[in-house]
Chains A and B, each alone.
Chain A
Amino acid sequence: MYIMLNRRWDQLIILGLFLVLSTACSTAPYRYESLENFGLKQRAVTKQQDAIQVRASVPSMEEAEQILGFPIYKRGIQPVWLEITNNSPNRARFVHVSVDREYFSPLEVAYMHKKQFSKQGWQDMERHLMDTAMPRLIPAGETRSGFIYTHANTGTKSFNVDVFYSGTGKPVYEEFTFFVNVPGFVPDHATVDWKNLYDKDSIRDVSIEQLRTELRELPCCTTNREGSGQGQPVNIVLVANGIEVLQTMLRAGWSETSYEKDDNYLNNVNYLFGRPPDAVFRKSRGRSTLTTDRNELSLWLTPLRNDGTGVWMAQIKHAIGQRYKINEIFFGAAQDPDIDDGRNFLLQNLWYSQTLLAVAYSDTGLAVPVSNPKLDFNNNAFFTDGGRIVMWLSGDPVALQDVKNFDWDKQATIRSKEQ
């Protein structure tokens, strides 16, 4: 029996080595499926500006593997399919870096995946990726299509497509902004029954001046599931309709999330208006050696409307220290106790992504000094100047200097060093 076992182990080891070796020098030919077998073109989002038409579509992880013949998402790369029609009398140029500042080149993608294939397979793959790459130039009156390889993100893919062409005199510059659904991902905001969040009677439409007063009546802070423990202040208010909130956050570099609403989630998450967040977005930091890199924004729709537009309350958590549970609610060893920084960061983040129409300062009614931090129900320390920022969002880009400032309250300066 003992010998038998050993022999079996030997066999397993030999089999294992064989497998390792066989994958190291693969003899597999390169195979892929035709793009036409997938609904990419049919479901493409189409935009037209003057003489240029752009269509865009993003294959899911599974589709991409079949279309390209290798699991490209596993390398953090997401192909975006584009089709550009140039109806101008001159040739047009599509700018690759407008989609992703650090896009991957077709032969780079091929090189990353070459080990899966034989030498001939690699060459075939190179040829195929070159042939199916989105070209830069679109001759007058013609259409070109193909893939550009971008950094992958979860949820709806948002990107720009910039096209230049020579007009009379100066070159014409068209900028298209896309928000493309990627099959297979259901963001948490898609599962909310928006229509029935509030009774018709409880929804109230108010003017900007009334909103100033009404905001003071809203709760300062979140609670736990039972409503027995106090959470952190809700120090952000956004005024925008749902689709604008989504597009604004995507444009500012945030990603959608898809939390499983199990007990573990519900017992730890912050509640407002008796419910967990209606939508959660995340933003990670790129090049950093720190292990914690995430901001998380939780949003709740309020029963208030400002001149017909939705009013949302929000709070930001920013993890510090080393991360110990990935993809769970507690994504860092601790949260940054300076909760004003998250609030101020969002203000700037929206400002620089040109999605901010106006700003006003209000307060939560809860100021907590640095010298005596408070604990929330999850035992996170926090301190705050008590300020709450109200931001009106815009679907159309707003220049940095065109942001309006409503003179409500003076910006809180409780924490200034001089005091």
Chain B
Amino acid sequence: MKFHVRMLLINFMTIGALLLLAACASSPTYHPDSSMPEGDWKARAQSQQANGIEVTAAVPSAKEARELFGMPLYKKGIQPVWLRISNSRETGVNFLPVGLDPQYFTPLEVANADLKEKDAANPTNVVDEFFIQQGLGTLSVEPGETRTGFIFSKLDEGTKAFNVDIIGSAIDGSIRDFDTFTFFIPVPGLNIDHYNVDWRNLYADDEWTDLDDQQLIEIFEKMTCCVTDKKGKGSGDPLNLVIIGKPRDIYTAFIRAGWDETETVTRTSTLKTIGSFLSGGEYRYSPISGLYVFGRPQDVAFQKARVNIHERNHLRLWMSSATYEGEPVFIGQISRDIGVRFTSKTITTHKIDPDVDETREYLLENLVYAQALEKFGYVGGVGEVSFDNPKGNLTGDPWFSDGHRLVLWVTSEPVAVDDLEFVEWRRPY
């Protein structure tokens, strides 16, 4: 038994070392420093006002949270969100923390995150007044009152996106109104890839072209089918997405739909990836290898972790020099990881779902249900590849497709599910 454990350990260490090499080799050339300074977390607070309610929110980083609470909260998957809610109405309102995080942690749950059976022997040990004081107390905010405190939410590094929902009532208590304040607060501590992209200077001024419908269809159907390696060689995963929107809208839409930003490859992030590879745990922001279009690795990558690092969806986007009605047009690629396998090219890689159209349609549904999509349609350009005669990507994973690219008009303003528009350019089915 011991022998087995040791062998496993040696295997893992070898894999780890090789992974380190592999990750370093594909490291994109982004600037390593983050633009978000740490220290004064309240200086990063954002405020919003509506209908007599003012909400201010701030999110301490991992280091700041540790200093505030004397516990490594981020390591436990807990992220404190500080709120100040002021009610200048004549009636009381209620704050609903479930709107911020449907599975928020209670102050005493956080205080006792390390509690063991023996510590619980004295039952009053679990009552920690410091943590209770840090919470918001009651959920009601009376007229003229200001309430401050922390809500303990599940961890989202990079940008923290959340709603603050306030329910109000009329004087007779019968009619209610509902106000939602949506926050996107960048949190220092991760080197997010798209923070470092110089969007304005990707193309020279005279390279930009605004396209009409027909031109967009034509140009994007003629665009290369697939990603390449660094040297521009090979034919990899199919470019099955065209996304129209400003970088800010895209990033808001994807965060709202539950996608995580991706860290640029640095020494720490590589170590974090290896850690979660060995434990099978979650490191939701792990850098992903560079694939090439327009002679450069992806400008933005998002990922959506499911159960563990082996099961996640990856999405890479490259900004083209085309615009459509003034909005930038991106080409992209999405894949669903379904496991890890060993290859000769990158040592280990994620095995992707060969049914790439399935993953493409998942993204469509995911964005629609997050109310982050205005319109969608299809163009060709990938070329039909059958189940029985699949193509291989750069690491040899097979894929097949109906040959269509999904065109998505993303929005940062919520669009109701039944207001979605279908643009009849091509019909894949």
Minimal Cβ-Cβ distance residue in B for A403? B176
Q: Determine whether B236 belongs to the interface, using a CB cutoff of 8 Å to chain A.
A: no
Taking a contact as CB atoms under 8 Å apart, the answer to whether B106 and A416 are in contact is: no
Stretch at the interface among A218-226, A259-267, A330-338: A330-338
Minimal Cβ-Cβ distance residue in A for B103? A285
Given A289-B77, A338-B107, A383-B127, the answer on whether A321 and B120 have CB atoms closer than 8 Å is yes
Q: Determine whether A12 belongs to the interface, using a CB cutoff of 8 Å to chain B.
A: no
Minimal Cβ-Cβ distance residue in B for A96? B365
Q: Once bound together, how far apart are the Cα atoms of A414 and B178, in whole Å?
A: 25
Taking a contact as CB atoms under 8 Å apart, the answer to whether B127 and A415 are in contact is: no
Taking a contact as CB atoms under 8 Å apart, the answer to whether B102 and A352 are in contact is: yes
B408-429: CB near A (< 8 Å → 1, else 0) gives 0000000001101010000001
Q: Which of B263-300 contact A (CB under 8 A)?
A: 281-282
Minimal Cβ-Cβ distance residue in B for A171? B418
Minimal Cβ-Cβ distance residue in B for A346? B98
Q: How big is chain A's contact interface, by range?
A: 35 or more
Taking a contact as CB atoms under 8 Å apart, the answer to whether B116 and A370 are in contact is: no
Stretch at the interface among B184-192, B202-210, B352-360: B352-360
Min Cβ gap B229→A in Å is 25
Q: Once bound together, how far apart are the Cα atoms of A345 and B98, in whole Å?
A: 7
Taking a contact as CB atoms under 8 Å apart, the answer to whether A288 and B154 are in contact is: yes
Given A95-B365, A333-B116, the answer on whether A290 and B102 have CB atoms closer than 8 Å is no
Q: Determine whether B117 belongs to the interface, using a CB cutoff of 8 Å to chain A.
A: yes
Chain A contacts for B97, CB-based, 8 A: 348
The listed residue (A111, A173, A322) touching B338 by CB distance below 8 A is A111
Taking a contact as CB atoms under 8 Å apart, the answer to whether A370 and B127 are in contact is: yes
Given A322-B116, A405-B176, the answer on whether A111 and B358 have CB atoms closer than 8 Å is no
Minimal Cβ-Cβ distance residue in A for B359? A105
Taking a contact as CB atoms under 8 Å apart, the answer to whether B106 and A336 are in contact is: yes
Given A95-B365, A290-B105, the answer on whether A400 and B116 have CB atoms closer than 8 Å is no
Q: Once bound together, how far apart are the Cα atoms of A137 and B427, in whole Å?
A: 12
Chain A contacts for B78, CB-based, 8 A: 290
Chain B contacts for A416, CB-based, 8 A: 137-138
Q: Which of A405-419 contact B (CB under 8 A)?
A: 405-407, 411-413, 415-417
Min Cβ gap B15→A in Å is 18
Q: Once bound together, how far apart are the Cα atoms of A210 and B283, in whole Å?
A: 55
Q: Which of A136-164 contact B (CB under 8 A)?
A: 136-137
The listed residue (A97, A320, A415) touching B115 by CB distance below 8 A is A320
Q: Determine whether A401 belongs to the interface, using a CB cutoff of 8 Å to chain B.
A: yes
Q: Determine whether B342 belongs to the interface, using a CB cutoff of 8 Å to chain A.
A: no
Q: Once bound together, how far apart are the Cα atoms of A381 and B125, in whole Å?
A: 9
Q: Once bound together, how far apart are the Cα atoms of A352 and B99, in whole Å?
A: 8
Taking a contact as CB atoms under 8 Å apart, the answer to whether B77 and A287 are in contact is: yes
Q: Once bound together, how far apart are the Cα atoms of A311 and B176, in whole Å?
A: 25
Taking a contact as CB atoms under 8 Å apart, the answer to whether B77 and A333 are in contact is: no
Chain B contacts for A405, CB-based, 8 A: 169, 173-174, 176
Taking a contact as CB atoms under 8 Å apart, the answer to whether B353 and A321 are in contact is: no
Q: Which of A108-128 contact B (CB under 8 A)?
A: 108, 111-112
Chain A contacts for B339, CB-based, 8 A: 111-112
Min Cβ gap B299→A in Å is 26
Q: Determine whether B385 belongs to the interface, using a CB cutoff of 8 Å to chain A.
A: no
Taking a contact as CB atoms under 8 Å apart, the answer to whether B108 and A338 are in contact is: yes
Q: Once bound together, how far apart are the Cα atoms of A137 and B116, in whole Å?
A: 52
Q: Determine whether B172 belongs to the interface, using a CB cutoff of 8 Å to chain A.
A: yes
Min Cβ gap B41→A in Å is 21
Chain A contacts for B178, CB-based, 8 A: 400-401
Chain A residues in the interface with B (C-beta under 8 A): 91, 95-98, 101-102, 105-108, 111-112, 130, 136-137, 166, 170-171, 173, 285-290, 292, 318, 320-322, 324, 333-334, 336-338, 341, 344-345, 348-349, 351-352, 370-371, 373, 375, 379-381, 383, 385, 400-407, 411-413, 415-417
Chain B residues in the interface with A (C-beta under 8 A): 75-78, 92, 94, 96-99, 102-103, 105-109, 112-117, 119-120, 123-124, 126-127, 129, 132-133, 137-140, 142, 149, 154, 167, 169, 172-174, 176-178, 281-282, 306, 311, 336, 338-339, 351, 353-355, 358-359, 361-362, 365-366, 368-369, 387, 417-418, 420, 422, 429
A97-B369, A105-B336, A401-B177 provided; 16 other pairs, C-beta below 8 A?
A91-B429, A96-B362, A105-B338, A107-B354, A130-B387, A166-B422, A285-B103, A292-B109, A321-B120, A333-B116, A336-B109, A338-B106, A338-B107, A344-B139, A405-B174, A415-B137
Q: What are 30 pairs between A and B in contact, CB < 8 Å?
A: A95-B365, A95-B368, A96-B362, A96-B365, A97-B365, A105-B353, A105-B362, A137-B429, A171-B420, A289-B75, A290-B78, A290-B109, A320-B115, A322-B116, A333-B119, A334-B112, A334-B115, A336-B109, A338-B108, A373-B127, A381-B126, A383-B127, A400-B167, A401-B176, A405-B176, A407-B172, A411-B92, A411-B138, A416-B137, A417-B149
